[in-house]
């Protein structure tokens, strides 16, 4: 029986965690053994779970990052235990997702992968593998990752360093570690990120773009009249934003400024806000705490007349795809791969920070009504983002690797 081992920060939680879970489920249905190794958010999984480290390990890794800017170089004991587990499992394919997040030691892991002769597939969900510090560099228009990261302008952003700037050391050490694997295929999830990879030190590896997939049986246009009534929104145009963490990168200040441009018949709903943010929102913004319920998310997407993504740094936001699947048009900034999911029949793309264009786009969608967009949005999601179709590409790749092609 073939064995698949995936490694990701979280399991069955958030976009990357759900992607790993769905790939694992497909593996099981194909007669494979499926394992998912993860750092936190210990949730139910149909795959065999491998917890990497514990709270003490994470705390020390965070401390190492905060003080010395050495994110990815902590968690040695936890990573050694993981390697021992991998040796006992003997997987045919190791599939990496996000390996940042204070839970794994990349030096130990990649030294092991270099010697193991196991085929590696690495899905790239952000830019961290190509930089000396940050996960995204768009907000500061930084191109140092192409030659040599140094004097990082995002040192105080995730993974935050309060003291030292070791971006140059990290850059060259990651370059050395990540370019020694004999059999590795990189899978960016957007055309934009494919271009970034081609301009980085990782360009020596095969690159196969595979879009993220979503469950089109769960993310569907739903009847939400009761929810609309319950929230007192019967005569309101609902504008929705969704994020795991609301901050400047996700456009929270822009949403707050946009609230001043809303009409009396409009309301913003932000899903995923913290308790601290919840208490500081203006009256025309409704804050909803983070939810892990796909059904609840689908209800909110269906409730919305417009999905608004004011992200300043992103790859291919899964929230865009989920909104389209629920029949709701998307307005997004021209950020990274975010525009790739949008056509003129499914929404609008505007320049970053251009709230007047956001305002005009909302007005156009209102003038046409959601009914004009719903089928176009749903069809776009069905054509490009069906998880069963997208994740099938991974198994075609796995089999080609195992057959030596």
> Each residue of 1-23: pLDDT tens digit?
999 999 999 999 988 999 999 99
Residues in the chain: 405
Q: pLDDT at position 267, please? A: 97
- Give φ, ψ of 104 to 5 degrees: -145, 150
* Tens digit of each residue's pLDDT (9 = 90 or more) over 38-73: 999 999 999 999 999 999 999 999 999 999 999 999
**CATH code for the part of the protein at 225-384:** 3.40.50.2000
Range 119-128 average pLDDT: 97
With 80 as the cut, is the pLDDT of residue 266 above it? yes
**pLDDT (tens digit, 9 = 90+) per residue, 341-364?**
999 999 999 999 999 999 999 999
Q: What is the mean pLDDT of residues 108-120?
A: 97
Quickly state the pLDDT bin for 84 (edges 50, 70, 90): very high
Residues 201 and 310: their CA atoms lie apart, in Å, by 30
- 285 and 239 Cβ atoms separated by less than 8 Å: no
Spatial CB neighbours of 73, under 8 Å, sequence gap ≥ 6: 64, 105, 106, 107, 173
Question: Quick one: fold of 3-213+387-402?
Answer: Rossmann fold (3.40.50)
Q: Give per-residue pLDDT as tens, 328-339.
A: 999 999 999 999
Residue pLDDT, tens place only, 240-256: 999 988 999 999 999 99
Q: In 3D, which of 219, 182, 170 has the Cα closest to residue 15? A: 219
Query: Measuring CA to CA, which residue among 210, 243, 234, 224 is closest to residue 322?
Result: 243
pLDDT at 405 over 70: no
Residues of the chain with CATH 3.40.50.2000: 3-213+387-402, 225-384
Q: Please report which helix (H) or strand (E) contains residue 282, including its range.
A: none
Residue 287 has pLDDT above 70, yes or no: yes
Report pLDDT for 14: 86
pLDDT digits (tens, 9 = 90+) for 197-230: 999 999 999 999 999 999 999 999 999 999 999 9
**85-105: pLDDT as tens digits:** 999 999 999 999 999 999 999
For residue 259, the model assigns a pLDDT of: 96
Per-residue pLDDT for 300 more than 80?
Answer: yes
Q: Which long-range contacts (CB under 8 A, 24 or more apart) does 46-53 make?
A: 46/21, 47/6, 47/21, 49/11, 50/5, 50/82, 50/85, 52/7, 52/78, 52/79, 52/81, 52/82, 52/103, 52/104, 53/77, 53/78, 53/81, 53/103, 53/104
pLDDT score recorded for residue 279 = 86
How high does pLDDT run on average in the chain?
A: 96
Q: Are 240 and 269 in contact (CB under 8 A)?
A: yes
Which of residues 405 and 220 earns the better pLDDT score?
220
What is the number of helices (H) and of strands (E) in the chain? 14, 12
């Amino acid at each position: 029986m073939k064995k698949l081992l995936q490694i990701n920060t979280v399991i069955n939680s958030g976009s990357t965690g759900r992607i790993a879970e769905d790939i694992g489920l497909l593996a099981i249905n194909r007669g494979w053994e499926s394992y998912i190794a993860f750092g936190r958010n210990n949730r139910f999984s149909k795959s065999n779970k491998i917890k990497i480290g514990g709270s003490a390990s994470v705390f020390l890794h965070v401390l190492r990052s905060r003080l010395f800017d050495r994110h990815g170089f902590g968690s040695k004991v936890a990573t050694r235990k993981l390697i021992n587990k991998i040796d006992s499992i003997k997987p045919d394919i190791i599939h990496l997702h996000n390996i940042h997040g204070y839970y794994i030691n990349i030096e130990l892991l990649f030294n092991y992968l270099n010697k193991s002769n196991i085929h590696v597939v690495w899905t790239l969900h952000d830019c961290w593998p190509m930089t000396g510090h940050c996960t995204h560099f768009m907000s500061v228009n930084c191109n140092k990752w192409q030659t040599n990261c140094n004097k990082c302008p995002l040192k105080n952003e995730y993974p935050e360093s309060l003291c030292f700037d070791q971006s140059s050391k990290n850059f060259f050490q990651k370059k050395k570690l990540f370019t020694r694997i004999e059999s590795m295929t990189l899978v960016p999830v957007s055309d934009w990120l494919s271009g970034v990879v081609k301009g980085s030190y990782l360009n020596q590896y095969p690159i196969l773009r595979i879009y993220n997939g979503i469950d089109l049986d769960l993310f569907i246009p739903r009847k939400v009249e009761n929810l609309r009534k319950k929230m007192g929104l019967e005569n309101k145009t609902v504008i929705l934003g969704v994020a795991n963490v609301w901050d400047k990168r996700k456009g929270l200040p822009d949403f707050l400024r946009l609230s001043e441009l809303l009409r009396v018949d409009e309301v913003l709903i932000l899903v995923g806000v913290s308790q601290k943010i919840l208490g500081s929102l203006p009256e025309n913004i409704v804050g909803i705490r983070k939810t892990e319920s796909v059904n609840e998310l689908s209800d909110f997407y269906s409730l919305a007349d417009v999905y608004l993504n004011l992200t300043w740094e992103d790859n291919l936001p899964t929230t865009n795809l989920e909104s389209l699947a629920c029949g709701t048009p998307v307005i997004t900034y021209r950020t990274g791969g975010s525009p790739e999911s949008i056509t003129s029949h499914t929404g609008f793309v505007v320049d970053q920070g251009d709230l007047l264009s956001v305002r005009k786009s909302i007005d156009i969608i209102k003038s046409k009504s959601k009914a004009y967009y719903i089928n176009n949005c749903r069809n776009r999601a069905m054509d490009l983002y069906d998880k069963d179709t997208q994740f099938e590409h991974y198994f075609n790749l796995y089999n080609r690797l195992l057959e030596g092609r």
